[in-house]
Amino acid sequence: MILARVIGTVVATRKDDRLNGSKLQIVQPVSLGDMSPDGKPLVAIDAVGAGEGEIVMICAGSSARQTSRTKDTPCDAVIMAIIDSLDVGGRQVYSKSQAR
């Protein structure tokens, strides 16, 4: 599982039928220490209704097809949780309520 920030949305009017109704988000993996960008952005199916700027948990690879929203879909990444807070080493490094 990977932590990432939602940085945009993808709109595709022509796609595989199994993706119809799916919201496609661009996510930027982040560093656990300071929430700074860490790696290349990717596109993920949003299974939980995340919004731009939110920190989310994504799952990639074959495990991405294990949510009820992505079962049997041609996807390689899914947003499966919206993070409320994150503690690392006893220190809070992210809080959704303080991020706004």
Q: What is the pLDDT of residue 22?
A: 85
Q: What's the pTM value of the predicted model, to 2 decimals?
A: 0.86
Residue-number span of the structural domain to which 84 is assigned? 2-99
Q: Is the pLDDT higher at 41 or at 67? A: 41
CATH number of the domain bearing residue 80 = 2.40.50.220
Nearest Cα residue to 20 out of 65, 74, 64, 81: 74
What are the residues whose beta carbons fall under 8 Å from the beta carbon of 49, sequence distance 6 or more? Answer: 23, 82
Task: Tell me the pLDDT tens digit for each residue of 59-94.
Answer: 886 555 566 566 677 677 999 999 999 998 888 888
Give the count of domains, the chain.
Answer: 1
Q: What are phi and psi of 98, to 5 degrees?
A: -100, -10
Q: Can you tell me the mean pLDDT for 38-47?
A: 94
For residue 87, the tally of other CB atoms under 10 A from its CB is 10
